[in-house]
Structure formats: C-alpha cells, structure tokens
Structure 1
Amino acid sequence: MKKQKGEYGTIQRAKAVIAKRSSFYKQQGYRRAQPLGRDREAIEDHSCSYMIDLCIALLPALLWVLVFVLILCGILPVFLLTPMYWITLVLLVVTSFGLTGWFSLRSHGLSLGRFLTGMKVVRKDNKEASPMILLLREIIEVGIPVAVLGYFFNVLGMLIFWVLNSIVTVISPGQRTIADWILGTRIIYEPAVHIRFEQDVKKELELSPIDLHIHSNFSDDGYYSVEDLFVRAKEAGCKVISITDHNCVRANTQAKRLSVLYGVDYIPGIEIDCSFRGRRLRVLGYYIDERNELFDAVESESLKREKTASLERGRKLEEYAGIIVDMERLLEKTRFQNVSGKQIAKLIFEHELYRQYPLIQRYLESSSSDEQAIERFARDMFEEGGPCYVERTYPSLHDVLEIVHLADGIAVLSSWGCDQLEDRLIEQALAEGFDGIEVFSPLVKKETMTRLLRLAKEHKLFVSAGSDFHGPTHPQHYLGVTHCPKQALPLVEILTSASPNARER
C-alpha cells in the first residue's frame, strides 16, 4: 500500500479555485447572485473591500514615507529624495493601473478585497463581465483617483473623488459606484460554492495495488477512456485491474493490448444487472471470453430496456405535469439509450419557459440552489414511489450466472446494494452458483464488508476488491481505493492468480 501524495502548489490551487468558482457561476450561480443592499452589513462589506484594494494600490506610497523618514533621521542621504519620488510615482501607476486591473480580469471580477468579502463584479444582468470591462472598472475606481488625480491635485483630488463616489454608491440601488454607472456593471454577493481538491480528499486513503471494479466510458455513467484508466492506474501504483462496464464487454479488447503497454496486469471483466427474488443484484464476471456472442445479447437487451424506460419516463411526465420533453431527440444523442430522471430534470430547469410552471416554481422557491431543486425534483418524480417512476425488468440471476460460466468466466457477487440485503437472501443467491463475493468496496459499510467476508469464508468463495471508479461522475470513488486492508490482500490475490476454469476447482 502507499499514500497519495500532493500534486498542487498554493498558486495552482488558487487558480483552480478561481476557475471552478467562475465555472459554477456561469452555469447556474448567476441565478442566485445577491445584489448589495443598503443595510449596514452590506455597506461595511463594500467599504472594507474597497479599502483593502486601495491599500494594495497605495503600497508604493508607504515605501516613499519610509524613505522620507529615514532621510529625516539622517540614515539615508538627501539626494535620494528626488529619485525615490519618481520611483514611487512609477510604482503607483503600476499597482493602481496594472496590478488591480490584471487581477480582476484574471479572476473573473474578483479582487483581494472582494474575494475576502465574498463579492464579485458582474454585468447588470448578473452575467460575468468581459475582461475589458473589468479592466476599465479598476482603472476608473482605483487607477485614476490614485495615479492621475493624486499626481495633478495631490491628496485633495483623491479625497474629492472618494467622497463623491461614496455619495453615489450609498444613494444608488445595489450600491453601484460611478464606474458601475459608466460601464453597466454592479457588485453582487457571489453564491457560496464548496470546492474540494481530490488530493486533499484522498491523501489519507490507502491505495491498493489491486482494483477489480472499474468503469470506462463504455458504461453509461463512466467518464474516462480505457487508456485513460490505465494511465491513472499506473500513477496510482495498481498492479492488477479489471474494467467491469455495465452490461458491456467492449473495453476488454483494448484493455488487453494496453495492459502490456503500461505494465499493468489485466483481468477481462463485466458487470451485469439481474433480478433475484424481486431484488436487483449485479454480477461481476471475471476472466470472461469477451468474444462470446452471449455478451452481444446482454448489451442489446440492456439498450432496449433503457430506451423503453426512458420513453416511458417522458410519457409519464407529460401525463402528470403537462411538460413535454422530446425523448426521441434526447435518445439520439446518447449511445446508451438511457435518459435518466436527473437528466430530464436538468433539461427542464434550464428551459426558461418550464421554469415559469407552478410545479417548477415551487421547487425553485423552496431550494437553496438550482442544483438542489433539480436533485429534489428528480428524486420526487422519477425514483420509486414517484408519479413518473418506471420499473425495469432484468434478466434472472440464474440466466446471468449461466452466461458468465458459458463464457468461461468466474461469477462474483457485486457488493452494490448489499447494505440492504439480509444474510439469508445473500446465501440463497450464492447457492445459485456464485464463485466469489466482492467483499472490499467503498459501496458498502464496514460492517457489511465484515458480513460478506464471513460468508465468503463459510462458502469457500473467492474474495474480490474494487473501487467502483467511474471518474468525475461519481466523485466520491477513487481508483485504487477499495478499502481492502493490507492484511487481506492475499485473499484477493488468490482471485487474481486464478485460471479461467478455477470455478471447477
């Protein structure tokens, strides 16, 4: 086992945070942007923000004051007074015209002061302002009063501008400044967004050299290509992996070739949905012959099932809420023939006409964000018990086990959903002909892993471990993080060293 090391420095982290916040704001954050009010707190925040930025712009003046004091004390010679005066003016131009404006346009409307107070410069319609507008605003707000008025009219010129700007700001709706009125901008409170770095999340998580449950973009919810997975597996220190896509074996042919190229051992795999005694299970097939025509039928039936369910969701939604979604058109854009309830909900909430529907309005008004409203709508409408829920039928466990075995594979019970399965049902399922159990996985609780390990030992079954890694679509799972303790690795290694006909041992 080894620990994940950090990858990013402070500057890189800051850039990533700013980019992520801007991306979030463009997608949906602008809808939740809060304009500045005239209450005391908002005025204090705005004033504090401006004073912080102003202090940064005036930093060269502090240098001038320090030199002047040292000259008065006789520490520095008098002839330095004139050159330091001109150096200070040049630095003031750089900090007031260049530094503040550059930071604002690079940070999409932020400044150090606005960053600390949670504010941002945007257009009047709350959309992000262009880089040129952001640069001009900082020149009007800071550059001109500090460098221009300060040079021609000394401190009096700056004070007159600041007093006039303060009066305009206080009496204007949303505390708009002179620059805001000229450029058509405003300052808003930026919606809060929680940003986590992957390296921080997993730096204390142990990475296993064996990961037998990984999904590529051949799965409907996978993200990375087969080669991307090998690159990441190599970086994570994995020695053996298996790509187990949902009801699809297409990744295996590529993976076998890439295994040699990247020096990572590979076990052909698949994960197949099935039903047993009214419950949905998943079967992991290892060492399968992916060329077997039975897997073509598995994929074909899966696509047909998902398409039928997607069309039915759309029909029920139209019947229940009067919202018409062109499901056929959506299905044309996905090779998996699956349009989930969440995808439908996202499409609806992005449509301005549908956002005016009373049903959608209720979710928007009672949620803290569009994202939360979408999640709640999708759960209430499309999950079990909802008016648009569609129950799908899956092949029987017996048939799926037979397919895996006919393809010379080893059938392993996936840990998916095992938290909700009682021991008796699992034992009944194992009796159907399983060869192993996925014991170690982030999909289940620690106590469930203990139960599964006990059952594997009692029935003398193979023990497997997998991360269920999908990529950014399932951000809580990390490649190589299987929750398999070091002392249990030898149990998993038995499976990785098995021969294709090991089930007949």
Structure 2
Amino acid sequence: MKKRKQSAPSVASEAIYAQKGYYALTKNDWKPRFFSFLIDVCVMIAPIMIWNIIMMAVLGSIVSVSGMVIINIAIGILLILSILCANFYIYKQTGGQSLGMRIFGYKVITSNGNDCSNAALLRREVIGFAIPFLVLMYFLNIFGVVLYWAINGILVLTTKQQRTLPDMLFHTCVVGVAKQKRVRSVKPQPQYRSRIDLHLHSDFSANGEYNVEELFQLAAKNNMQTISITDLDCAKSNHLAKRMSALYNVEYIPGIEINCEYQGIRLRVLGYFIDYTNELFATIENESLVNEKRASIARVQKFEKLIGRHIDIDRLLQNNRFQRLPGELIAKHVLTRSEFSDCELLQPYLQYDHMEEAARKLAKDYFSYGKPCYVQVKYPLLEDVLEVIKMSGGVSVLAYPGRLYMSEPQLLDELVKLGIQGLEVFYSKHTQEEMKALMKYAMTHKLYITGGSGFFHEQGSARIGMTQCPKDGERIIQDFIEAYQ
C-alpha cells in the first residue's frame, strides 16, 4: 500500500504545531476561513454602520442635512483609522487572533511555528491588507479591492500552509487552534509522606532554598525518620548535617549527587555513606564551578549574537555563588531591563502577564537542548565518578532513572556492569509504570532500592518525604540503610 503523501506543513512542522496546540489548515477549512475573513472586513469598515444610522436620522428629520458635511468628514477619518488600526488592535490584545479568527479558532503565527511579535502582526495587517484596501479603493474602486481579495483567496486554496500574499511577504501563516477539552476537576487525595527521604537539597545546591538546619527542622516537623542531603557536586552539607542529626533526632545518611556523562548522555549519580572529608569531593566541586561558569559565559555570548545586544556578564555573575547562569536567569535579566525592551525577538515574551512564565518560555525556546543557545556543560565521566564514590567507601545509586530505563533499557545493563549498585526506584516525578519496571529490574539484578523526593524549595512540585514510596515499601529502603550502617 502506498503511503499517503504528506501535505505541507512538513511532518516536523506538524510536530511543532501539535506541541503548541495548533494544527495545519486544509482545503476543507476554506468556508470557516472565508467567514472569518468577512467578519474582519466588517470590523475594518464598522464606521460605515454609524454613517448608515446617521443617514436614517437625517431621513427622519432628527439630524439636520446641513450638518452632513462635517459628519461625512468625521466618518471618513474614523473609517480610515478603523481600516488601519482596528484589526491590529485586536491582534495585539489576543496574541495573534482577529475577531473572526477568535470566533472560528484560527491564529497568525510565524512560518517556523513561533508566536508573531506585535511588529510582525502590524506589518502583516497594515501593509498587507489595510493600505492595499485604501489605495485600490481610491484608484480602482471596489473592483480593485475585490480582485485583490480574490487573488489572496486563490493563493489560500492553492499554496502550502494556505498563505496569502502578506503571509508570503512577512513569513507568517494562519493555523488552527486546537480546542481544549474540559476536564472535570477531581478533589486531590492526600499523598502518603514517607518517613525516609534520601534525596534532599540544601542551599549548597544552586536552587536549594533551605540551609542544613532548616532542612532538619522541616524533617522533624514532618516526623521524618531518616534523610540524606545530596547536594549537586558538593559534599559540604554533610559536616553540619551530622551534628544536626543528633540535635533534631533525625537519622542522617551522608550523601552527594554528582553530574556525570556516559557516551554523551548526562546522568546523575547519588553517592551514599561516603567519606565526605575525602579531598576528591572538593576537586569535583571546584571543577563543577569552573565548567558551569564557562558554559554560562558561552550561553550568554550565543544569546548576545542572536539579539544583537551586549549583555553584562559581570553583572549577572556578581554575587552569584555558583557562577551558574541558566537560561531562565538570562531570560529574566533581558526581559526586565529597559535596554532590551525594543528587541524584536523578545516582543512575544514581553506580552506575558507574569514574568516567571515569560522567562520559562523564553528559556525553553532558546536555551533548552537542541535550541540556538544550548550549551553542553562539561561533566566528568561516569566511570570516574563511580571510582570516586567507591574510594570514599560509598554506594553508587543512579538518580531518577525512570525515563532513561523506559527509553533505553539496554543502557541500564551497561551502567550496572560499570558499577552502579542501586536505583532510585521511588522518586517524586516517576510514573507508576516507571516505578514498577524499575522495581522489577532492581530485584532481578539484586540492586539496592532507594527513594527520594528531589526536594529543592517550596515553589517546586517536590515536597520533603513525597517520594511516592508506599508505607509497605519503606522496609526495602530500610534494608539498604541497615546493610551499610
């Protein structure tokens, strides 16, 4: 059977559309698209309706005929302003939808699938539709306008992505906006809070909110039995944590979480029961800071080239304890400083009501994997990290391996052969399917089973003790702890 030939946009474009809740239009959409266009024309020439009402008032002797000259001039000016500005104003307020498009579920976006800036929408509407309307009406009367509309209609029916002349000129296109399914709200059920959490972060981690003592206060408040603070590439919290353990009557397991790389894949390994005084951990921390700073500078430089503006790296790194500039931090910087307010690339993000949401979107669009400003941080090799943990007397556990195992199960076999001794089966963001598969794998290969929330701060989705480990499952983690005590 022959495969059905793909129509434009390409499969890649369709994937981008689906990701953003759009869909490509087909020839079957001509009728609602036509009615959408008619509504927009009505918006453009709305002042004519006022003129009709006034004429009725004149015929009814409510308004004097002598005043019609002034009224005609006023209506004419209002009509020109309406043709030039009315639809663009609606586009600006709705983020790319005219009144007709909003009614029928369409939107104007760029040809590569991104939201249009206000400047692009202005050019498309004024230069592409309003000015031709006025010029053709003046020189050729209504026949010229209808001919121009007819040409655009033919292009919509015959071209890929159903683009009009203005769309081709300004690299835009019209897409459908998928309707959101209404889901009945369900009252959330309270989740079991495990008394063992072996994956917490203090303020020794870049995004950690609480200091070590505050974490123990939080643990004691929630009746925790055992915790481990596993800061990223840093073992410093363990010194203070050992003292806090006795003070707050919460058992403590020395830990660390280390970024590493295996065959180009970024992994994180949890080290438990480590000798945190070993100088190798200080070396890992120092190298991590250097590598993060290099990557941060490269990240900023790439974005500078993209927007054509200088970004003060020294200002960003000033008082930055970890010398780390993630995409979201760079995004917040440029979106909140006046010198970047006229950058065309930033315009769609400046329309957001909430800066946090805008920064997340900008970071995702430009700094995430595969995007223009993505920079790969240099990480130590997995083999070296496993060796360091082993030399310090610790146990190596692969952090939140759910997604990795479900996508590349054979890779986990390789990691176990290299020296991974356990899996973080229970984790706040694992699915039930992932935890079930990991549990089976760990039992089959006689690996240690641990659980942790990955808690950084109260703004995140993870909470201390929310590891998804059921009460009956705590015994398995307790067996691991007792084996090394």
Flag whether TM exceeds 0.5 (same fold).
yes
Does the 8 Å CA contact 2:203/2:210 hold for their aligned counterparts? yes
One of 381, 394, 397 as aligned partner of 2:366: 381
Kindly report which structure 2 residues correspond to 1:421-460, keeping only aligned pairs within 5 A, or say none.
421-460=407-446
Aligned to 1:239: 225
1:355 to 2:345 alignment: no
Report the equivalent of 1:493.
Answer: 478
CA contact (8 A) 2:235 2:281 kept: yes
Gaps (5+ residues) in structure 2?
1-185
| Secondary structure of residue in 1 paired with 2:397 | strand
Contact 1:437-1:452 within 8 A present in 2 as well = yes
Give the gaps of 5 or more residues in structure 1: 1-199, 501-505
Query: What is aligned with 1:229?
Result: 215
Query: Hey, what does 1:326 align to over in structure 2?
Result: 312
Cα displacement string for residues 420-463 of structure 1 (whole angstroms, at most 9, x for unaligned residues): 64211112111111111110011321111111111111111111
Judged with a 3 Å threshold, the aligned counterparts in structure 2 of structure 1 residues 202 and 467 are, in CA distance, closer, same or farther, namely farther
Give the SS at the match of 2:321: coil
Runs of 4+ residues deviating >4 angstroms: 200-203
CA–CA separation in structure 2 for the residues paired with 1:291 and 1:219:
18
Give the AA of the match of 2:283: A
2:390 pairs with 1:405 = yes
The letter of the residue matching 1:404 is I
Matched with 2:299 is 313
Q: What is residue 283 of structure 2 aligned with on the other side?
A: 297
Residues 62-105 of structure 1: CA deviation (Å, up to 9, x unaligned): xxxxxxxxxxxxxxxxxxxxxxxxxxxxxxxxxxxxxxxxxxxx
**Equivalent residue number for residue 364 of structure 1:** 350
Partner Cα separation in structure 2 for residue 364 and residue 462 of structure 1:
48
> CA–CA distance in 1 between the matches of 2:357 and 2:245?
41
Paired with 2:345 and 2:472, the residues of 1 have a C-alpha distance of 54
CA distance in structure 2 between the partners assigned to 1:201 and 1:297 by the alignment: 49
Q: Which amino acid aligns with 1:385?
A: G
Match of 1:470 in 2: 456
**Equivalent runs, 1:59-74 vs 2, <5 Å:** none
Residue 254 of structure 1 is matched in structure 2 by: 240
Q: Say which of 400, 404, 427 aligns to 1:415.
A: 400
SS of 1:241's equivalent in the other structure is strand
Q: TM-score, with normalisation over the residues of structure 2?
A: 0.59
Pairwise CA distance, 1:215: 0.3
Change (3 A) 1:329 1:417: farther
Aligned residues between the structures: 299
Shift of 1:384: 1.5
CA distance in 1, matches of 2:253, 2:349: 46
- Contact 1:314–1:324 (CA under 8 A) maintained in structure 2: no
TM-superposed CA distance for 1:477, in Å, is 0.5
Distance (whole Å) between structure 1 residues aligned to residue 396 and residue 320 of structure 2 = 29
For residue 364 of structure 1, report the CA deviation from its aligned partner.
2.5
How far, CA to CA, are the matches of 2:271 and 2:188 in structure 1?
A: 28
- Normalised by the length of structure 1, the TM-score is 0.57
Q: Deviation per CA, 1:156-200, whole angstroms, max 9, x where unpaired?
A: xxxxxxxxxxxxxxxxxxxxxxxxxxxxxxxxxxxxxxxxxxxx9
The 3 A distance-change label for structure 1 pair 335 and 201 is farther
Judge conservation of contact 1:249–1:295 (CA < 8 Å) in 2. yes
Could you say what secondary structure the match of 1:356 adopts? Answer: coil
Computed over aligned residues only, the root mean square deviation of the Cα atoms, in angstroms, reads 1.8
Q: Does 1:483 align with 2:474?
A: no
Whether 1:288 and 2:277 are equivalent positions in the alignment is no
Distance of 1:413 and 1:201 partners within structure 2:
34
| Distance apart, 1:345 and its partner CA | 0.5
